[in-house]
């Protein structure tokens, strides 16, 4: 299905008059004529931008509440929502108020990573459907709890791995499934970014008035206010802390590896992982690695990931390419690319609208300057946010599940956790029992896979 038809079909599902209604039951279908009330939890630029887009481009979808512990971001989000909808949304710093509100159908969760799963589970328990941004979890245990909660309460949960709704991702998967690439022997993922970490400022005994620091910390260990982790009007540096994130591997490489998994058929967990990483490029005091190299053993092939913030000459897929399906990036300098090596050819694949191109093993044109590869198959793409949002709304109305399936997205997120845990336990190889989701050769690794939580913010054993 091409992008135009996909969006038209999704729009038809959402067409109709706007009507208020009570909270839908666990097994009820939301009709096309019924309004979907969404609440934004986490009012940073990403969360606000995506929920506004969803409400603007999908019929009978509105935003009725916003929540953030950053009071500056909360106020700006409320103004943006009122401008779009013409009504002032409910405003709160406590997400549990929104979960108790029977007029709200959907929790749109775009907090820092350490809050994703507890917020998702609370929302499911309250009968809300959920859109939760990547990376969905910060350890393996809580990712599995997300899957259980979605199943137990019959909730639609869409994980923000947007490439799972990209039409070019579907065609790449079909190309490989048809055997045109041959047997897969290696999958190489790259997330090569550029950043120079600054020196950390000391903790402050008193938090500024614009933030509720205790609630921001939530499930993580409570410290004095950390000006390095948060900022009043932008993201802040929480990606540098294990308590709040999985670093750049979770932030951008998660998208790359999730798309790679999808197009090769969503294989189960790998049987082992080896990783090396550290802060050797700049020697910064951030906890998460400045650079890491990871090898995942899938039995018949390996998946590798080169990830870090120490390569400023690399570039993400440019905006003009993401907006034009007739354009492709310069693969060799594309920081967020995947190379899929088969016995018949090589596929280059770009996340977030990069498209894909295949070089056939038999298609080289010889000339006086050597050999030049010939592209034998390709499909361009566009940033798939609109498709992912439309797919979510469609799933809310049909109750048939969304593209960002919790089970598969949990398995992609687990790749992040496996790589990070292998680094954190001494840059080593770890053996993994995928069925039990346990390591078989390291008690320390299993402790990190389980995680710990602060009283009052515990991800429950029994969801």
What is the full DSSP assignment across 106-169? EEEE-S-HHHHHHHHHHHHHTT-EEEEESS--SSHHHHHHHHHHHHHTT--EEEE-GGGG-HHH
Which residues does residue 433 pair with via DSSP β-bridges, in sequence order? 438
Distance from C-alpha of 315 to C-alpha of 305, rounded to nearest angstrom: 16
Asked if residue 29 belongs to a domain, the reply is yes
Asked if residue 9 belongs to a domain, the reply is yes
The CATH code of the domain that includes 64 is 3.40.50.720
Specify the length of the chain in residues. Answer: 463
Model pLDDT, residue 366 = 56
Query: What single DSSP character describes residue 334?
Result: B
Contact 13, 394 (CB under 8 A): yes
Asked if residue 74 belongs to a domain, the reply is yes
Nearest to 218 by CA among 289, 286, 120, 132: 120
Contact 130, 109 (CB under 8 A): yes
Asked if residue 229 belongs to a domain, the reply is no
Contact 119, 41 (CB under 8 A): yes
Q: Which 3 state secondary structure label does DSSP give 90?
A: strand
Asked if residue 122 belongs to a domain, the reply is yes
Distance from C-alpha of 190 to C-alpha of 305, rounded to nearest angstrom: 6
Q: How many C-beta neighbours within 10 Å does residue 4 have?
A: 9
Query: What single DSSP character describes residue 238?
Result: G
Largest Cα–Cα separation, the chain: 72
Distance from C-alpha of 300 to C-alpha of 463, rounded to nearest angstrom: 36
Asked if residue 212 belongs to a domain, the reply is no
| pLDDT tens for the chain, residues 1 to 463 | 443 333 334 333 333 222 233 334 444 567 766 999 999 999 999 999 999 999 999 999 999 999 999 999 999 999 999 999 999 999 999 999 999 999 999 999 999 999 999 999 999 999 999 999 999 999 999 999 999 999 999 999 999 999 999 999 999 999 999 999 999 999 999 999 998 898 999 999 999 999 999 999 999 999 999 999 999 999 999 999 999 999 999 999 999 999 999 999 999 999 999 999 999 999 999 999 999 999 999 999 999 999 999 999 999 999 999 999 999 999 999 999 999 999 999 999 999 999 999 998 666 655 555 567 789 999 999 999 999 999 999 999 999 999 999 999 999 999 999 999 999 999 999 999 999 999 999 999 999 999 999 999 999 999 9
Asked if residue 126 belongs to a domain, the reply is yes
Angle, vertex CA 135, rays to CA 449 and CA 312, nearest 5:
110
Strand blocks (E) in 169-316: 184-192, 272-278, 291-297, 302-308
Distance from C-alpha of 256 to C-alpha of 330, rounded to nearest angstrom: 17
Instruction: Note the Cα 422 to chain centre separation in Å.
Output: 21
Which residues does residue 188 pair with via DSSP β-bridges, in sequence order? 304, 339
Asked if residue 39 belongs to a domain, the reply is yes
The domain in which residue 30 lies consists of 3-162
Give how many domains the chain has, as a whole number.
1
Phi/psi of residue 343, nearest 5 degrees: -75, -15
């Amino acid at each position: 299905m091409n992008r135009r038809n996909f969006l038209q079909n999704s729009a038809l599902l959402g067409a109709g008059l706007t009507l208020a209604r009570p909270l839908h039951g666990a097994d009820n279908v939301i009709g096309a004529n019924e309004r979907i009330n969404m609440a934004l939890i986490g009012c940073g630029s990403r969360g606000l931008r995506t929920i506004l887009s969803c409400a603007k481009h999908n019929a009978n979808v509105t935003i009725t509440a916003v929540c953030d512990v950053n009071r500056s971001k909360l106020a700006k989000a409320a103004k943006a929502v009122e401008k779009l909808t013409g009504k002032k949304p409910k405003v709160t710093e406590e997400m549990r108020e929104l979960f108790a509100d029977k007029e709200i159908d959907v929790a749109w969760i775009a907090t820092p990573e350490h809050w994703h799963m507890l917020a998702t589970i609370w929302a499911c328990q309250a009968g809300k459907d959920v859109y939760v941004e990547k990376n969905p979890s910060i350890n393996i245990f809580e990712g599995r709890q997300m899957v259980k909660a979605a199943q137990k309460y019959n909730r639609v949960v869409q994980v923000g791995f947007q490439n799972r709704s990209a039409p070019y991702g579907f065609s790449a998967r079909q190309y490989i499934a048809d055997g045109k690439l041959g047997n897969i022997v290696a999958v190489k993922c790259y997330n090569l970014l550029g950043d120079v970490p600054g020196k950390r400022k000391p903790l402050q005994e008193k938090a500024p008035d614009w933030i509720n620091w205790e609630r921001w910390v939530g499930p993580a260990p409570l410290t004095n206010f950390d000006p390095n982790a948060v900022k009043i009007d932008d993201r802040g540096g929480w990606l540098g802390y294990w308590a709040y994130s999985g670093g750049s591997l979770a932030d951008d490489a998660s998208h790359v590896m999730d798309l790679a998994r999808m197009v090769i058929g969503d294989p189960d967990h790998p049987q082992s992982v080896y990783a090396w990483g550290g802060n050797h490029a700049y020697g910064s005091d951030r906890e998460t690695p400045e650079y890491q190299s990871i090898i995942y053993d899938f039995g018949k092939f390996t998946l590798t990931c080169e990830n870090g913030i120490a390569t400023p000459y690399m570039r993400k897929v440019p905006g003009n390419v993401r907006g034009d399906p007739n354009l492709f990036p310069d693969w060799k300098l594309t920081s967020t690319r995947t190379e899929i090596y088969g016995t018949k050819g090589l596929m280059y694949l770009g996340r977030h609208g990069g498209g894909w191109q295949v070089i056939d093993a038999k298609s080289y044109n010889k000339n006086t300057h050597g050999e030049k590869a010939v592209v034998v198959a390709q499909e361009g793409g566009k940033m798939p946010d609109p498709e992912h949002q439309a797919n979510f709304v469609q799933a809310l109305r049909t109750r048939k599940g969304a593209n960002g399936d919790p089970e598969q997205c949990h398995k992609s997120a687990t790749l992040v956790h496996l790589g990070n845990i292998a680094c954190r336990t001494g840059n080593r190889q770890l053996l993994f029992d995928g069925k039990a989701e346990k390591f078989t050769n390291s008690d320390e690794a299993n402790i990190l896979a389980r995680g710990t939580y602060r009283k009052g913010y515990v991800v429950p054993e029994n969801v």
